[in-house]
């Protein structure tokens, strides 16, 4: 029993962190770019290195019907105090939705990261969470509160600046 636990520890320690792995991939992609590799060869390479890690590599056409957290914020009218769609608050809400991972797609972002896209189940889950929590003005997540405003509510920027100085 202890041997199996020790082997799992060694594997976890030996596994490269995603950031370090992405840096190595970025260097290889730079060389492929210099060698004028075709986009098809680049995608084949990316699939070959990321899929064993459990990260599916998708092209733009693969995620039609999936939304980023910022797109969900825009669709549902969830904004920050700067009057922009609040993707961070939506990501915090998504983490509270049961089985959200089953409705999430990971996509390489640039050359050094991964971004997430969500299907309609998540879009509806965020809408339901907002309704079930009576349109909260903040979303708690890991010791931080994201302040949110809704499209139908006035934000700080809807008022004349002179009001704040009276």
Residues 90 and 34 in one domain: no
Residues 81 and 22 in one domain: no
What pLDDT is stored for residue 49 in this prediction? 78
- CB 136, CB 130: distance < 8 Å: yes
Three-class DSSP category at 31 = helix
For residue 95, give its domain range. Answer: 58-166
Residues 34 and 70 in one domain: no
pLDDT in tens, 61-111: 556 678 889 999 999 999 988 889 999 999 999 988 887 777 887 776 655
Residues 23 and 75 in one domain: no
* Average pLDDT for 143-164: 66
Query: What single DSSP character describes residue 17?
Result: P
What pLDDT is stored for residue 162 in this prediction? 45
What pLDDT is stored for residue 72 in this prediction? 92
Q: Percent of the chain having pLDDT more than 70?
A: 63
Residues 96 and 24 in one domain: no
**20-29, 99-108, 146-155: least confident range:** 20-29
């Amino acid at each position: 029993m202890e041997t199996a636990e020790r082997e799992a520890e060694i594997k976890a320690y030996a596994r490269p962190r995603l950031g370090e792995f992405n840096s190595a991939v970025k260097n290889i992609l730079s060389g492929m770019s210099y060698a004028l590799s075709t986009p098809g060869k680049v995608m084949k390479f990316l699939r070959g290195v990321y899929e064993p890690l459990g990260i599916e590599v998708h092209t733009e056409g693969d995620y039609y019907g999936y939304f980023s957290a910022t797109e969900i914020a825009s669709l549902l009218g969830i904004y920050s105090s700067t009057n922009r769609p609040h993707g961070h608050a939506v990501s915090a809400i998504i983490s509270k939705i049961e089985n959200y991972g089953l409705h999430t797609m990971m996509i390489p972002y640039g050359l050094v990261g991964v971004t997430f896209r969500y299907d309609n189940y998540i879009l509806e889950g965020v809408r339901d969470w907002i309704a079930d929590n009576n349109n909260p003005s903040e979303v708690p997540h890991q010791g931080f509160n994201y302040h949110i405003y809704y499209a139908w509510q006035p934000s700080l920027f809807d008022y004349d600046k002179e009001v704040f100085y009276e």
